[in-house]
Amino acid sequence: MADFRLPTDNIVRPDKDRFFNEENPFEAMMQRLDRAAKLLDLEPGIYKVLRSAEKEITVSIPVMMDNGEVEVFTGIRVLHNTSRGPAKGGIRFDMNVTLDEVKALAAWMTWKCAVVNIPFGGAKGGVICDPLKMSVGELERVTRRYTSGIIQTLGPDSDVPAPDVNTNERVMAWLMDTYSMHVGHTVNAVTTGKPVEMGGSLGRREATGRGVMITTVQALEHLKMEVKGATVAVQGFGNVGSIGAQLLQQAGCKVVAVSDRTGGWHNPKGIDVDDAIAYVKKNKTLEGYGKGEAVSNAQLLELEVDVLVPAALENVITTKNAKNIKAKVICEGANGPTTAAADEMLDEKGIFVIPDILANAGGVTVSYFEWVQNRGGYYWTEQVVNDRLRDIMVNSFREVLKLSMQHKVNMRTAAYMVAISRVATVHRLRGIYA
């Protein structure tokens, strides 16, 4: 890691006079990049490289729908930085996908891979569509046409996608098959998050939630708070939130509130997470669960708990509600759940925030393990996967914490400093090709 130096004012944002939108994810990422860059005394030339995406690809996706009509969807893939290795990042299917969102998420992936020191760069992709209104056949045709549209950038040595919002193992299977058909042979390392039968890694589905649990326990121990009995509220009960809640409960914490898009439930005596997971498996959502007092997602964020895990959407903690947050620890299971403008307010309240690029890096870490296993053709046991994940998450947390204490900055700024320093160091060593 490069030496850290004192702040200077040699970083000038080309767009610094633009109106700032608190909920614009790209602006939030840039604000945090700026702060870390100044603390690192980052050279203006490298700063310009790091603030810019290497590739921004937009493709039209004409698809024959089940009713015989043709619809044209828009697909996006952004490669932010590949200096440390192949681009890595999920693909989401959602009506709210925007270029700014994908650019921010791609940059976050760059920092996330660097903060846990795995040899990937950052990417992200998305298709603007409503998968809930589409049949399985329509989703497959969208996936395959999108894959063919971005196929020049895909590859195990160049760009390795994964599941994200509204995509899953089946979507990755279609992507892998489409790519393999184009190149003429099976290439299972072109994507991660695949079915285990196709080369997916054991432990991958639980990895992000496991990383949330590991970093939360580390934070509680650092703050000299008892893990056993620590109260936890989890917003978002999808893969990350439900597994994170389950593993935190197994670690001794008391989960007192959970929620999903339909709302949530609060029970000060504790919620049986396994029971809630079983209910959702049967009923699709937490609606009607009933084992506690009904609360809204907004109310859940403001509950008096030891640990708050926002594991659902971006921008749920803003300047409008940050002053009402009562948790002592926030572990960001989602990407970008806190706006940049809200960071200072949480700092003033003394809340210990485990930032998203560290807290939810368990998923990309085990994605890296999957890619390694695919490349080597040798597969690990789930225990080996979990042990190696724990080693990386614990070491990464401690590196960030050490820098945070050394420079008297919050954990988010320290995480960005660690990540940006690693990426910048590689750029210095590689030089500029001309």
SS3 for 160? Answer: strand
**Rounded CA Rg of the chain:** 21
Q: Which two tokens stand for residue 427?
A: 């750029």
The Cα 419–Cα 15 span in angstroms is 23
Q: Which residue has the tokens 């944002």?
A: 13
Contact 258, 271 (CB under 8 A): yes
Q: Which two tokens stand for residue 375?
A: 């490349």
Cα 312–Cα 418–Cα 350 angle in degrees, nearest 5: 60
Contact 426, 6 (CB under 8 A): no
Q: What size, in residues, is the chain? A: 434
Q: Which two tokens stand for residue 161?
A: 């996608």
Alpha carbon of residue 117 to chain centroid: 15
Query: E strands of 206-334, at which residues?
Result: 231-235, 254-260, 263-266, 293-295, 307-310, 329-331
| Strand 254-260 relative to strand 87-93, pairing | unpaired
Contact 79, 106 (CB under 8 A): yes
Selected catalytic residue, list 103, 112, 124, 328: 124
The Cα 218–Cα 211 span in angstroms is 11
Q: Whose CA is closest to 207, among 90, 317, 376?
A: 90
124 among known catalytic residues: yes
User: Please, what's the b/e burial string for 43-64 (b: 16 or more CB within 10 A of its CB; e: otherwise)?
Assistant: eeebbebbbebbbebeeebebe
Q: Whose CA is closest to 164, among 88, 107, 215, 235?
A: 88
Contact 180, 328 (CB under 8 A): no
SS3 for 16? Answer: coil
Catalytic residues: 124
